[in-house]
Structure 1
Amino acid sequence: MFDPTYAYKLTLKLAREHRFTGSRGEEEARKIISEEFTEHGYIPTLEEFNVKVYEIRRLELHVTSPFRAEIQASPIGFSGETSGVEGRLAYIENSDKMLLPEEGGWIGLAVGRPSAENWKLLAKRASGLIVAESTPYRTLSRVAVPWEWRERYGSLPAVYVSYRDAVRLLDAERVFLALEQAYRDVTSYNIYAERSGYKYPDEIVLVTAHYDSVLGVPGATDNAGGVALLLTLAKSLSDQRLKRSVRFVLFGAEELGLRGSLAYIDRHKDELKNVVLVVNLDVHGGALGFSAAIVSGSKTLRNYVEFKAKEVGVNLSISEDVMSSDSTSFVWKGGVPAVNFYRSSGSGADIHTERDNAEHLHPVAFKVIGEFALKFLVDLLNSEELPFDREIPEEIKKKAEEYFKKRLALVDEKASA
């Protein structure tokens, strides 16, 4: 049986503080996860990896002409640094080339965070970047770009501002921006525990989630809820006899560019051929919503997910795509198909902001997806033959590569790995 109240209480426990990589909160989350595994008869294993983090030392943004105003802003980690630069404010919309000034030294106002390709272009021309939030109702994002952007393209100190402040900035001519941040290497950890199958032990199903959060954000739905869902599934499966092996993996540093899953793949690359499926759990716990799945695999895998949902009576919204989560690391670099189960909820509007906190949570959020995921795993782990083709269509492979190319600029890393 799946216990939604258990998952809810565990989410509350994990979301007491932010779990940014290298923080006290991340360390506390590891303790909670390890204790949960141990309590239910598993032997947790921690695997360390190195990752870069950032620390904000100073941030200022204000209009200097034709009026004076201080603007509240949120820094974009790893973007770059300046002790202070004043320049012309240029509205560049979606990094449209027709709007980019010919001269250098200006500060751009964009409607969305640029892709790696556009970031490279802006870093050559602009002295800074201001990114508007997508709606008037969203508070400020607490996010980072991949540290490789700073290393490869140069400094482009960047911040988020609210939608309403961005509208005010349309009437500004010059602004002053100061952003000072420091970078350092820290050790993070992936955590895993497993149960070996009694009949097909070499066939492994990975159940995954990331346990970190962005800087300063409790990350209740992203992704304390996913961690709690995974641990509750592990509890439910702890006393069952299973034909295939199941391994539960919690990744660190997902919010810094899927670093934990990439590190896991590098360390376990020789056994990836034995992994038949990755079941990834990211974004869970939002009180009002519905269950959804993103299938990164064959049509037969999508059909299997759809069939199991109908079998238990779940109105599961299913799409075929890649998700901006650790599963895509396995699709791109490991050649392993994946299913992402997530909860589509109004709480998603506050992900990566301070509002992603316990107020969004409720036990009802775990009932349907928890019971369905448990049924899905039990049937898959005990089937005599794999009920779908273990393959990834070319279209999905291209989407995974494009994701890393546009968002993380790591395609060259794969070629040299």
Structure 2
Amino acid sequence: MQSLDYEYAYRMAVLISERPRFTGTEGERTAREAIKEELEKHGYSVSLEKFSTKTYEVVESELVITEPYLGRVEASALGFSGETPAEGVEGELVYLENTDPVLIPEEDGWIGIVVQRPSKEGWQRLVKKAGGLVIAESTPYRGLSRVAVPYEWREKIGSLPSVYVKYRDAVRMLTARRARLKLTQVYRDVDTYNIIAEVKGYKYPDEIVYLTAHYDSVMGVPGATDNAGGTALLLALAKALAGFKPKRTVRFAFFAAEELGLRGSLFHVGSLNEEEKKKIKVVVNLDVHGGALGSSAAVISGPKSLRYFAEIHAKKLGVNLSISEDIMSSDGTSFVKHGIPAVNLYRSSGSGADIHTESDSPEHLHPLAFKVIGHYALHLVTELLSAEEIPFEREIPEEIKKKAEEYFAKRLGVDG
């Protein structure tokens, strides 16, 4: 039986997370070339799937408490949120909690303070009323987030220039009266690429099992656990399966631009015709891996029989796998949208507190983090590729289907 080289997974995770991999940057290109080279080294024929997406660059981000004058506060721009005039906007500071309507003033032009990034509905409430928005980090121990809202929010709903601040700075701002915010961003279309490799099944070539991970990171962040770790684990699976003769087709997909709204996987699945989609039996998606101290977990987006399949094999191997039935904010959900079940494997770890910040760095990684989940993933995939029949239905329960529809409609605001 094949075995997974977890030391190799660790080395690849460190290599991939040496630099940020934001969409359209040199770091992303370097990672793509390294992934392609590794796959070819293991004997795979690799294709690059080109697509275009929107990205952003932060030119200026400044937040100053002006009354009483307490000076500049370290702030991180929320990508695609919008821009202020060149001189910035100054206004009264208003605490809004979670964009609670009862706390929103009748007058316009103030700067709001919220405890988390608004939902699309919250965004709609604040646009045209707030001059800007300050988002507090969730704990006193977290660095500044480097994330974005979907570009559609700014284009279709309106501009709401927003920045993240550290928790303690947000608490300090509660006693202040006024602030000035400057935010300048530029937007552009870029070309990027999904990385695809496959091995045809010798008995059931028209039945396809997808193994997926995203290789991009958010802007300026090494993205060691999110998702250099998942990318490295997928490479380790490809290495373990090199030379293996599967009964059904296995397709490896390393997706780009996941952090900008699952853009790579949405493009890939959306570009397939209905007959090709029907060939896909299940997706095993790997997102957030490599955290030194943690445990194995799975989000099942599919029928109960798929959960039982995942659960039985975890017990068979002696793996403590925490399982939930839901959708995950990851590439597996792009397939669920089209009626294809997904098993999302991830590592629950304390390192998750640093995801999407500059602290998601290789120091979080450890070889042992890939051992158990890697052993389980390889076993699960081998079973799927070797079975005479797929042991679960290819269907999405109504509750999961509804959650997926709400996810794309409310959180992303895209049709895919």
1:209-358 map, 5 Å: 209-270=213-274, 271-332=276-337, 334-358=338-362
Q: Which runs of 5+ in 2 are unaligned?
A: none
Q: Which residue of 2 aligns with 1:75?
A: 77
Q: Which residue of 2 aligns with 1:176?
A: 180
User: Is 2:55 aligned against 1:50?
Assistant: no
Matches of 1:352 and 1:269 in 2, distance apart?
34
Q: Which residue of 2 aligns with 1:383?
A: 387
2:204 pairs with 181, 200, 209, which one? Answer: 200
Matches of 1:346 and 1:122 in 2, distance apart?
33
Q: Which residue of 2 aligns with 1:60?
A: 62
Matches of 2:31 and 2:273 in 1, distance apart?
26
Task: Decide whether the 8 Å contact of 1:116 with 1:405 is kept in 2.
Answer: no
> Which digits, 9 at most, give the CA deviation of each residue in 1:207-239, with x for residues without a partner?
000000000000000000000000110110111
1:374 is matched by which residue type in structure 2?
L
> Which digits, 9 at most, give the CA deviation of each residue in 1:68-100, with x for residues without a partner?
321100000000001200001110000000000
1:231 is matched by which residue type in structure 2?
L
Q: Is the partner of 2:127 in helix, strand or coil?
A: helix
Matches of 1:153 and 1:91 in 2, distance apart?
22
Task: Decide whether the 8 Å contact of 1:124 with 1:153 is kept in 2.
Answer: no
Tell me how far 1:306 sits from its aligned partner: 0.2
Q: Which residue of 1 aligns with 2:164?
A: 160
Tell me how far 1:329 sits from its aligned partner: 1.0
Task: Decide whether the 8 Å contact of 1:219 with 1:357 is kept in 2.
Answer: yes
Tell me how far 1:66 sits from its aligned partner: 2.4
> Which digits, 9 at most, give the CA deviation of each residue in 1:359-415, with x for residues without a partner?
0000000000101100101111110111111111000001111111221011xx25x
1:146 pairs with 143, 146, 150, which one? Answer: 150
1:60 is matched by which residue type in structure 2?
E
Q: Is the partner of 1:68 in helix, strand or coil?
A: strand
2:317 is matched by which residue type in structure 1?
V
TM value normalised by structure 2: 0.98
Matches of 1:89 and 1:329 in 2, distance apart?
39
Identical pairs, percent: 63
Q: Which residue of 2 aligns with 1:115?
A: 119
Matches of 1:226 and 1:330 in 2, distance apart?
18
Matches of 1:213 and 1:335 in 2, distance apart?
27
Matches of 1:169 and 1:384 in 2, distance apart?
62
Matches of 2:118 and 2:125 in 1, distance apart?
10
Q: Is the partner of 2:278 in helix, strand or coil?
A: helix
2:69 is matched by which residue type in structure 1?
F
Matches of 2:175 and 2:156 in 1, distance apart?
33
Tell me how far 1:335 sits from its aligned partner: 1.1
Q: Which residue of 2 aligns with 1:4?
A: 6
1:280 is matched by which residue type in structure 2?
N
1:283 is matched by which residue type in structure 2?
V
Tell me how far 1:118 sits from its aligned partner: 1.1
Matches of 2:354 and 2:13 in 1, distance apart?
17
Q: Which residue of 1 aligns with 2:28?
A: 26
Tell me how far 1:124 sits from its aligned partner: 2.2
Task: Decide whether the 8 Å contact of 1:286 with 1:360 is kept in 2.
Answer: yes
